[in-house]
Amino acid sequence: MAFGQPKIEYKSNAQILKMREAGLVLAEALDEAVAAAQPGITTKEVDAVFAGVLERHGATSNFLGYHGFPATICASVNHEVVHGFPSEYVLKDGDVLKIDGGAIVDGWHADSARTVLLGDVDEADRRLSEITQQAMWAGIAALAEARFVGQIGEAIEKYVHAQPGPRLGILEEYCGHGIGSAMHMAPDVLNYNSGHRGPRVKPGMALAIEPMLVRGKLATSVLDDDWTVVTNDKQNASQWEHTVAVHLGGIWVLTAHDGGAAGLEPFGVSPSPIKP
């Protein structure tokens, strides 16, 4: 360990393949949770659907019990940015729901999040989600050629600020992270250009890349549950996230069914799966 710097975990190809197993279970769980998230359904019911997929595959949740977290997903609605508790809240037409979840297979972790737009949503919220999602892919694409982790945040910020129309805010207090034998590991993966290079990108790294954007101001607060993050101005937020591995052959999006092929194509990047 370098003085004052947390040690980065570098995975073997075999370990990355285990993370891919977790990532595919997680992708399926998110597919079913997103499909279940309809007006008239509670966020607690969405959580139960997600949990059922993990159980079906013999995977476990890395969210449930994490520092006391009570569920298998974070379900954050509208101006709730992240870390919201699934509850008896009944989803309604026009809601913006962020579903963030994880899975563990044989001790190896995956983490991913999606924004779900319910029914007839405000076009500004649709734009918010689309730009957040594409900013995530811009960051992932940048990782393919990056020498330093800080280049991911540079690419995310550049993409967001290049979009026409009202400028969206990039939250700076919350960021992506390393992942592997634990859910949250070094290094931090910022979603903006901090002016710092960060650690060098090396084969064996696995990173959760997760921009969070807001329609309004950047100020946020944490509710009395000590988890749920909300925007102070009540403007809506979006979150998208994938777990991405770096190996000698390139990058591989472990939580995307296609390894990231469709999302990376507009950026001229192709994923490189590891052969079992």
Tally Cβ neighbours within 10 Å of residue 221: 9
The residues, ordered by sequence, that sit 6+ positions from 202 with a Cβ below 8 Å of its Cβ are: 8, 10, 246
Is 172 assigned a ligand-binding role in the annotation? no
- The 3 state secondary structure assigned to 71-124 is CCEEEEECCEEECCCCCCCECCCCCEEEEEEEEEECCEEEEEEEEEECCCCCHH
177 annotated to a ligand binding site = yes
Sheet of 206-209, strand order: 185-189, 176-178, 206-209, 242-247, 250-253
Structure tokens at 30: 């998110």
Q: What are phi and psi of 265, to 5 degrees?
A: -55, -45
Query: In whole angstroms, what is the distance from residue 142 CA to residue 252 CA?
Result: 13
* 88 in a labelled binding site: no
- Is residue 161 marked as binding? no
Query: By the 8 A CB rule, do 215 and 236 touch?
Result: yes
CA angle 160, 148, 263 (to 5 degrees): 45
| 83 marked among binding-site residues | yes
Residue 60 — φ and ψ, nearest 5°? -120, 165
| 184 labeled binding residue | yes
Separation of alpha carbons 115 and 237, rounded Å = 9
Q: Is 100 annotated as a binding residue?
A: yes
End-to-end CA distance of the chain: 31
Q: Name the binding residues for a divalent metal cation.
A: 100, 111, 177, 210, 241
Q: Name the binding residues for substrate.
A: 83, 184
Q: Name the binding residues.
A: 83, 100, 111, 177, 184, 210, 241
